[in-house]
């Protein structure tokens, strides 16, 4: 499989069976991405939570690609109201086998809602997303604080690559993210959700220096990892 980082928290996975998933497609309004919402292709859209910098261009991309949205129930209900024809609602602790692999939604300590016309729409619980496919395990933490039960995830899942937010202010900062990587027992930790806005400006090398040698990897925008 090929994992590609596209800035902020946008990640794609191309599986060996030809399937492709797209995480948290915040593209328009994101100056730090190599994607264009009107041309990006995917078979599935995965959303960790309902903030605008994660839902992003979900609706347009899902409709144009006829790609089902996978997320917590409330995000899927929102997507359906926006005209997305196919969704698969889940909730924390649930797993489901999709054509590309098994998806499990896990806890994230954050919030989830989007403002429209001066009203905040509740988007359910935020989630991290774990994919098990082709003998590998990928964890996209979404937006989260550090929490003790990451150690349970580290026991339950043999995580090959974890995408962990380091921006601070809204999520973990570098120190907490490094602690999270240890609790999760990840083989490789990739920092995400930083430098997109002034409030989350970070030097990702500060995160890398806190990890055992070889565990941390800063991915350039558009860079891929082959597993």
**Residue 98: per-residue pLDDT:** 98
How many Cβ atoms are within 10 Å of 198's Cβ, its own excluded?
Answer: 7
Q: Which residues of the chain have pLDDT under 50?
A: none
Q: Are strands 188-192 and 127-133 parallel, antiparallel or unpaired?
A: unpaired
Q: How far apart are CA 127 and CA 186, in angstroms?
A: 18
Looking up residue 146, the CATH number of its domain turns out to be 3.60.15.10
* pLDDT tens-digit readout, 99-135: 999 999 999 999 999 999 999 999 999 999 999 999 9
- Give yes or no for a contact between 14 and 2, defined as CB atoms under 8 angstroms apart: yes
**Residue 190: per-residue pLDDT:** 98
Q: How far apart are CA 164 and CA 157, in angstroms?
A: 16
Between the CA atoms of 222, 4, 33 and 71, what dihedral angle is there, to the nearest 10 degrees? 170
Query: Domain span at residue 52?
Result: 2-226
Q: How far apart are CA 105 and CA 166, in angstroms?
A: 20
Q: How far apart are CA 61 and CA 122, in angstroms?
A: 22
User: What is the count of structural domains for the chain?
Assistant: 1
How many Cβ atoms are within 10 Å of 206's Cβ, its own excluded?
Answer: 16
**Residue 186: per-residue pLDDT:** 98
**Residue 72: per-residue pLDDT:** 98
């Amino acid at each position: 499989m090929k994992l590609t980082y596209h800035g902020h928290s946008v990640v794609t996975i191309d599986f060996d069976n030809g399937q492709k998933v797209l995480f948290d497609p915040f593209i328009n309004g994101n100056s730090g991405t190599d994607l264009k919402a009107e041309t990006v292709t995917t078979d599935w859209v995965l959303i960790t939570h309902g903030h605008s910098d994660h839902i992003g261009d979900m609706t347009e991309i899902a409709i144009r690609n006829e790609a089902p949205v996978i997320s917590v129930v409330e995000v899927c209900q929102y997507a359906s109201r926006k005209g997305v024809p196919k969704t698969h609602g889940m909730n924390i602790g649930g797993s489901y086998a999709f054509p590309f692999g098994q998806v499990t939604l896990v806890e994230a300590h954050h919030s989830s809602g989007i403002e429209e016309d001066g009203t905040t729409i509740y988007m359910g619980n935020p989630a991290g997303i774990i994919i098990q496919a082709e003998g590998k395990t990928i964890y996209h933490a979404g937006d989260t604080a550090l929490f003790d039960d990451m150690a349970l995830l580290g026991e339950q899942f043999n995580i090959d690559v974890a995408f962990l937010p380091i921006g601070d202010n809204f999520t973990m900062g570098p120190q907490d993210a490094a602690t999270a990587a240890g609790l999760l027992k990840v083989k490789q930790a990739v920092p995400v959700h930083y430098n997109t806005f002034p409030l989350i400006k970070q030097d990702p090398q500060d995160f890398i220096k806190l990890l055992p040698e070889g565990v941390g990897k800063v991915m350039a925008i558009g860079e891929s990892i082959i597993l």
